[in-house]
Chain A
Amino acid sequence: MEKGLFTGNEIVVKAAIQAGAQLMFGYPITPSTEILEAFAEETLYHPELHLIQTEDEISAGFGVIGAILGGKKAFTATAGPGTVLMQDPISMAEAMRLPFVGIITQRGGPSTGTVIYSQQEVTLTCFGGNTEGLRFVYSPSNLQEIYDLTIAAFNSAWKYRFPAFLLTDGYLGKTKGEVCFYQPKHLIKTKKILGDEKTIVHIRNTYSTEEELFAILRRNLSEYQRIAKKVSRYRVYRKRKEIDYLIFAHGSVASACLAACEAKTNLALFQPITLRPFPRQAAKFWAKKAKKLFIIESSAGQFARLVKEALSGLALEIIEYQKPALGITPKEILEWVR
């Protein structure tokens, strides 16, 4: 594999291609645009790759669905207001159990907000649209995780047939660094869903009765719950029997928390790598060992809601630090967590 310095957004493209993606559909929006551009550049060297720049994010998402139906791995990348529009195709992918893969590079909101950074698309990516949130959401905290988790998103989407997302942000997307590229040992094979010229398939998303839809939802929900433990991932820094202060953080903020933990030995970090499904049991297990819990995030409690739901039933002191749409430094964390 090639070596060199790459940005997070370029690494997404390298990983997507390694994971078998052949088509990308997209509409430019900061800070995801370099993913579109990097894929365009890759098409110059790989004739099997195709980029389709669509008229909007809705069309990009539905184009991904069409390509998946035709048996190809495909993906899109978007952010902010684009993630809002993307809920239309994502809810159809969730309903039809299609392996949709989306890269969400969070920017500040609400509305057009700012263009580089936030952690405010957690709820939208996990639970957006008129859905039950049967999705896989991976939140990388550094460049290596961007590579690893993009591949993981494609694999889990195609293996279990639920939409999967890499939830990153513009800070990570524009950070340049060195990453260990590798060819994944295990890739899930694709299959044509429509147009295989053998079996006749009818796919619908409209049902005549409430009971009909309920039966399908119940089956999908139970399958999601069954595989949740296999898909959910987390990382604990400073595993000890007794922890003074345990911080819950994800994505870029987890990276800052890690630096703070390295500077102070009484701090530990619980980083959920998947926000959906959330590593609930592990979160509870480690929370029980701590004297005090901290939840730190760049949104006004979107991440804290996930953590508190996972920890429900535990009588623990929880302190929340929130800076919606603003970055958080290790220095600030060291001041807060004491």
Chain B
Amino acid sequence: MIPKCYKKESLPHLFCPGCGYGVILKSLGFTIDHLKIAHRTVLGLDIGCALLAWNLFDVDTIQTHHGRTIPVMAGLKFAHPNTITLALVGDGGAYAIGLQSLLHSAHRNDPLTVIVVNNSLYAMTGGQMAPTTLQDEVTTTTPLGRDCRKTGLPFLGPETVVPLTNHFAYIARVSIRNPFVLEETFKKAILNQMRGQGFSLVEVLSVCPTNWKTDAEKTFRFLEEMENYYRLGEIKKPLEEK
């Protein structure tokens, strides 16, 4: 079964075999179907693997520069408040090059829904260290494994954002291991925007067997390691009424 809002002629999608984006985009598609919002949704995509979804949905879509999806979607929402604006960005786009914009958007409580895909590295460029790379994880720029004494601890994005938000923000972390929770969380995040409450951020722990160089079993074993470090669940729930 595929989401109704998928563009049939764009299938099969362009992601690597075994990529976590398949599950993420499918869950997002089902959420859009369920909420019946395809006609008024605008999906912003960062540079990185996210850009491969540029024509996957029958939904207005725009690719931006690396780390700049959030300000573009914020500008769009200011100009056209009736749209439902989604920003789909990677962990590098959100927590490195675009962190300043993420923090200020959360701080202003912009009515946006930001989805950050955390696969522990820069995947599109071939697997370099990201802010989210785990301790001792081997990447092309940490060939002996990440040394957190020199490069800092794996970056806790949602936890960093939470203190900046007001009572109406929704912040959560989920894993692709459970698509039902994924869909339910996307729904809550988008509804928070639709109710006019404000900012929402969902970090999704994902997998990258291509750059991790893992088979199916080792892929999910590494995802478990990520889940052990990055706490899953709703980190901040909004007050019901604004």
> Which residues in A have some Cβ–Cβ distance to B below 8 Å?
22-23, 25, 50, 52, 54-56, 58-60, 62-72, 74, 88-89, 92, 192, 194-195, 197, 200-206
Contacts and interface: CB of A to CB of B under 8 A. Distances in A.
B28 interface: no
Task: Please indicate which of the listed interface residues A56, A67, A68, A72 has the most CB atoms of chain B within 10 Å of its own CB.
Answer: A67
Interface in B41-60: 42, 47, 51, 54-55, 58-60
24 contacts: A22-B79, A23-B75, A23-B79, A54-B104, A58-B101, A59-B74, A59-B100, A59-B101, A60-B71, A62-B64, A63-B71, A66-B73, A66-B75, A67-B78, A70-B75, A70-B79, A72-B79, A74-B79, A88-B68, A194-B62, A195-B76, A195-B80, A195-B82, A195-B83
B78 A63 contact: yes
A202 B101 contact: no
Contacts of B7: 200
B76 A66 contact: yes
A338 B62 CA distance: 57
Contacts of A23: 75, 78-79
Q: Which 5 A-B pairs have the closest CB atoms?
A: A66-B75, A70-B79, A70-B80, A63-B75, A62-B71
Contacts of B65: 62, 88-89, 92, 205
A64 B60 CA distance: 18
A23 B78 CA distance: 8
A55 B75 contact: no
Contacts of A66: 71-79
B212 to A, nearest CB: 24
Contacts of A200: 7, 58-60
Contact of A52 (B64, B68, B78, B82): B78
Contacts of B79: 22-23, 66-72, 74
Task: Please indicate which of the listed interface residues B72, B75, B76, B78 has the most CB atoms of chain A within 10 Å of its own CB.
Answer: B75
Looking at chain A's contact residues, the main secondary structure is mixed
Contacts of B59: 200
Given A59-B74, A65-B72, A202-B55, 6 more contacts: A56-B100, A66-B74, A67-B75, A200-B60, A204-B63, A206-B51
Contact of A195 (B40, B71, B74, B104): B40
B171 to A, nearest CB: 19
Interface in B110-152: none
Nearest to B56: A202
A69 B76 contact: yes
Task: Please indicate which of the listed interface residues B72, B74, B82 has the most CB atoms of chain A within 10 Å of its own CB.
Answer: B72
B36 interface: no
B58 A25 contact: no
Given A70-B83, A200-B59, A64 B75 contact: yes
B100 A69 contact: no
B104 A55 contact: yes
Nearest to A190: B79
Contacts of B83: 70, 194-195
B77 to A, nearest CB: 7
A210 B42 CA distance: 28
Nearest to A58: B68
B116 to A, nearest CB: 18
